[in-house]
Structure 1
Amino acid sequence: MSSLYFKNTLQINQPFSNNKSPILLFDAKTLDISQYNLPDYLSPFELQIINRRKSVSAKQEYLATRLLLKYLVITSHPNMAGIKPCNISSEFNLQTSKLALHINNSHTVINTCISHSNGFVGAALNPTKAQFGFDIEKISTKRPFEKLAKHFYHTDEIALITKPANAEDQAKHFFRIWTLKEALAKATSRPIAKLLSPNVFTELTCSQLNASSAVVGKFDISVVSEKSTDWQCSLINLAVLGRAIAL
């Protein structure tokens, strides 16, 4: 049964395509932070957070994920069409372990999910508060994935990773298992530390959640959600993003 999780069943729309449950994917490296007046796009709270980021790449990923979330709000909620991006604030809720968007001058709070890895980012809204999570990780043969797996993963997972003869396939298996674990942690609001050693395929079956995955370039993406939902990924570029939020 675990072989099903290694099939690339997650739909990736390229170029951007509207759908009911979109996860937007974006190359944050295309953002030149110096070209933007950040107070126009980020709330005071978000400005505090991005100013704490030391590296340019960390600032790019933070700004990109917030712009994607605000794009989704503005384009999917007709009553939000005229709102300024800086009046939408993303804040982490420690009680629910969810990143939530707060809309100024209203009681609207929207649960979200984001992920980022090596400049490639993703963002999605979860207004119905369904069990949902996704994760992005760069597939790299340079990381000591076999050593990490033997230290953290379940023995059955280790066997799946070490079965292929070449390092490339081993890395693909390692990172697929990793993104499934991270996505499941987000969907169920469980700490990732508690999902490292259990067999993720057993956990997915017990949770009665759907899992789908894909490879985009050098990145592995997994989505875990309630079986009644149909999450799809769409690649979006700076031009499309900019038209909606006046970048």
Structure 2
Amino acid sequence: MPALFFQQQLVITKHSVQPFNANTILLFDAQQLNVDEFDLNALLSPFELTVITRRKSYKAKQEYLATRLLLKYLVKQTMPQFRDLANNHISSEFDQQSSKLLLHITDSDTVLRSCLSHSNGFVGAALNVERIEFGFDIEKINLKRPFAKLAKHFYHLDEVNLITQDQQSAERFFRIWTLKEALAKATSQPIAKLLSPNVFTELERANLTALSCQYHEFDISVVSDKSTDWQCSVVNSTAQLRGVLNF
């Protein structure tokens, strides 16, 4: 199996307010947010307000708010016609038919595809303006999990052999996991259907490109059918979002 799947290919940069590649995944530590400090009525649509209200844990509320701030920021940065739009006029709603998270713009026919991922308070958000097959996933590398046992139970035998052949079992286990999750999102398939097949074979069969990397203790993978110039941009503070979102 090509060794490139375990190499650091996905570029990660520090985010700035300068124009950036439209194929950008914004990364952010949602645990920085104090949800109670924000005027949620001004930031979230009525639908989003009902969703965040139903979130039971504080971490879940942080992750939900963070991902929506990132999405609205991306809309305003990549689509100048919406730069002055009120934040609560951009609404994220999951579409069961397409299995995609769609962004609806109030009083507009514009509907945008998007993709989100989160793990242990660390979140990512991206727009899919070109409506291509695209998905990404973030997963924290937990060194205490029984990788070999889990792999033998869920993964393809070839994947199990890759995981158990050397000392990089944790890194290989989570790289394969994020690839499977990203592939599931790109192709709108349930992750359960992609656990046992060989993910490298599935990527080749679907003619999809994969890029991956590690950022601190997290593994990140991107799967796409067109562009190979996807990159990640780390937002270090909410101050970097305030100038565009005006909150």
Tell whether the structures are fold-level matches, with TM greater than 0.5: yes
Q: Matched residues in 2 for 1:215 and 1:26: separation?
A: 15
Gaps of 5+ in 2: none
* Amino acid paired to 1:189: S
Partner of 1:19: 21
Distance 1:3 1:137, change over 3 A: same
- Equivalent residue runs for 1:142-153 within 5 Å: 142-153=144-155
- Equivalent residue runs for 1:1-247 within 5 Å: 1-16=1-16, 18-165=20-167, 169-237=168-236, 238-247=238-247
Deviations 1:122-180 (A, max 9, x none): 00000111010000000011223322111110011011111113xxx211110000000
Q: Matched residues in 1 for 2:215 and 2:150: separation?
A: 23
Q: Matched residues in 1 for 2:54 and 2:215: separation?
A: 30
Task: Give 1:229 deviation, angstroms.
Answer: 4.4
Q: Matched residues in 2 for 1:15 and 1:48: separation?
A: 30
Q: Give the aligned CA root-mean-square deviation in angstroms.
A: 1.1
Task: Give 1:245 deviation, angstroms.
Answer: 0.7
* Amino acid paired to 2:241: L
Q: Matched residues in 1 for 2:151 and 2:205: separation?
A: 22
Deviations 1:8-47 (A, max 9, x none): 1001112446113111001101111010111111111111
Task: Give 1:231 deviation, angstroms.
Answer: 0.8
Gaps of 5+ in 1: none
Deviations 1:189-233 (A, max 9, x none): 111110000000000111111101010000000000024342111
Q: Matched residues in 1 for 2:142 and 2:209: separation?
A: 26
Specify the SS of the correspondent of 1:116. Answer: strand
Q: Matched residues in 2 for 1:42 and 1:15: separation?
A: 23
Q: Matched residues in 2 for 1:147 and 1:94: separation?
A: 33
Q: Matched residues in 2 for 1:138 and 1:236: separation?
A: 18
Tell me which moved more, 81-90 or 10-19: 10-19
Specify the SS of the correspondent of 2:4. Answer: helix
Q: Matched residues in 1 for 2:134 and 2:29: separation?
A: 23
Matched pairs, number: 244
Specify the SS of the correspondent of 1:142. Answer: coil
Task: Give 1:74 deviation, angstroms.
Answer: 1.0
Q: Matched residues in 1 for 2:22 and 2:112: separation?
A: 16
Q: 2:209·2:223 contact (CA, 8 Å) conserved in 1?
A: yes
Q: Matched residues in 1 for 2:196 and 2:164: separation?
A: 16
* Amino acid paired to 2:6: F
Q: Matched residues in 2 for 1:149 and 1:176: separation?
A: 12
Identity %: 60
TM-score, with normalisation over the residues of structure 1?
0.96
